[in-house]
Amino acid sequence: MTRIIAVSGAASGIGAALAEALRSGGDRVIGVDLKNTEVTADLSVPEGREAAVRGVLDAAGGRLDAVVACAGVSAPDPVTIKVNYYGVVGLLEGLRPALAAAPAPRAAVVGSISGTQPLDPAVVAACLEGTEDEAVRLAEEAVARRHGGLLYPSSKSALARWMRAAAVSPEWAGAGIPLNAVAPGVVLTAMTAPLFEDPAMVKVMNEAVPMPLNGHAGPEVIADALRWLVSPGNSHMAGQVIYVDGGAEATLRGPEDY
Ligand code: NAI
């Protein structure tokens, strides 16, 4: 039977590669993005997240087999917290009841190697324990202190921590829904293209994210891993952050931290 899979960020990069791979494998994809997809919605705001959930459910027509949240931004701005944390959590929680009714439901998110790097602990704590208003206020304060660059790693760390807790809860594992993350290193997409224009930036990036195995990845590499996570074959993996990063995480954290 054709599986129906919602993919956010489907207009570009990893989400677009995933949507294409799923479609060529016979699945039906409902893309969610700011433009050029089946469902147009802005995941940075609560109304946009509600519109995304409604739009996916309408398009799905009563059956939703999997959700993959790829949409993300890497700006040194509070919008990064709004999209990468609240946009993902809002979409997944909104679609969870529909997933729970599917015969083999699956869900996955896109983290990042950045989630293991220096971050703003107050912003992460506010995401996990506070309100969105509080998290955004703390993110604005970080920008005012010229620490906006910590917001992307903070968003991805908070997302990984939320995912690991949610994945083993009654709502996800208890409802038979495997929930996991793929955490890429550097992927060649629109998000990183500007960085490659500046050789000094490439040097900084390669030092921050060393990728001894095959270097920078194409988006289809990450899409392949996501595809398996949401396939019927993944019946027992829950709460895992899978680093598809050319060896960056093992290089940076070393052999003891696994
Ligand atoms: P991309 O820029 O090619 O695609 C991101 C997509 O998200 C775009 O289509 C964009 O329109 C959409 N999006 C952004 N804000 C949105 C909003 N408010 N509402 C709805 N859609 C929105 O970037 P890429 O590289 O494909 O990124 C996908 C995911 O992978 C992101 O979560 C990113 O953080 C993550 N990632 C990317 C890495 C890279 O090196 N490119 C490395 C690690 C993680």
What is the pLDDT, as a whole number, of residue 71? Answer: 98
Q: For residues 163 and 157, what is the distance between their CA atoms, to the nearest angstrom?
A: 10
Please report whether residue 213 resides in a domain: yes
Q: pLDDT by residue (tens digit) across 123-163?
A: 999 999 999 999 999 999 999 999 999 999 999 999 999 99
20: number of Cβ within 10 Å: 15
Per-residue pLDDT, averaged over 191-195, amounts to: 96
Average pLDDT, the chain: 98
Tell me the CB-side half-sphere exposure of residue 153, using CA atoms within 13 A: 18
What is the pLDDT, as a whole number, of residue 258? Answer: 83
Instruction: Say whether 152 is catalytic.
Output: yes
Q: Whose CA is nearest to atom 23 of ligand 1?
A: 191
What pTM value is reported for the model? 0.98
Domain with 214, as residue range(s), is: 4-245
CA of 70 to the centre of ligand 1 (A): 6
What is the pLDDT, as a whole number, of residue 1? Answer: 84
DSSP string, 182-238: EEES-B-STTTGGGGG-HHHHHHHHHHS--TTTSSBPHHHHHHHHHHHTSTT-SS--
Show the ligand 1 pocket: residues with CB < 6 angstroms: 9, 11-15, 33-34, 42-44, 70-74, 83-84, 110, 112, 184, 186-187, 189-192, 219
pLDDT at residue 19 is higher than 90:
yes
Please report whether residue 251 resides in a domain: no
Q: Whose CA is nearest to atom 3 of ligand 1?
A: 13
CA of 256 to the centre of ligand 1 (A): 31
Please report whether residue 76 resides in a domain: yes
What is the pLDDT, as a whole number, of residue 83? Answer: 98
Q: For residues 250 and 201, what is the distance between their CA atoms, to the nearest angstrom?
A: 22
C-alpha gyration radius of the chain = 17
Please report whether residue 256 resides in a domain: no
Per-residue pLDDT, averaged over 26-39, amounts to: 98
Q: pLDDT by residue (tens digit) across 215-235?
A: 999 999 999 999 999 999 999
Please count the structural domains in the chain.
1
CA of 9 to the centre of ligand 1 (A): 6
The CATH number linked to 31 is 3.40.50.720
Please report whether residue 11 resides in a domain: yes
Please report whether residue 254 resides in a domain: no
Q: For residues 90 and 251, what is the distance between their CA atoms, to the nearest angstrom?
A: 33
What is the pLDDT, as a whole number, of residue 241? Answer: 98
Taking alpha carbons only, the member of 87, 111, 65, 82 closest to residue 243 is 111
What is the pLDDT, as a whole number, of residue 156? Answer: 98
What is the pLDDT, as a whole number, of residue 11? Answer: 98
Please report whether residue 250 resides in a domain: no
Q: Whose CA is nearest to atom 24 of ligand 1?
A: 13
DSSP, res 168: T
Structural contact between residues 155 and 77, judged by C-beta atoms closer than 8 angstroms? no
What is the pLDDT, as a whole number, of residue 147? Answer: 98
Share of the chain above pLDDT 70, in %: 100
CA of 64 to the centre of ligand 1 (A): 22
Please report whether residue 253 resides in a domain: no
Mutate to test the pocket of ligand 1, among 36, 70, 114, 209 (most ligand atoms within 8 A of CB): 70
Choose, from 85, 86, 152, 243, the residue flagged as catalytic: 152
CA of 13 to the centre of ligand 1 (A): 7
Q: Phi first, then psi: give them for residue 201, nearest 5 degrees.
A: -70, -35
pLDDT band, residue 62 (cuts 50/70/90):
confident
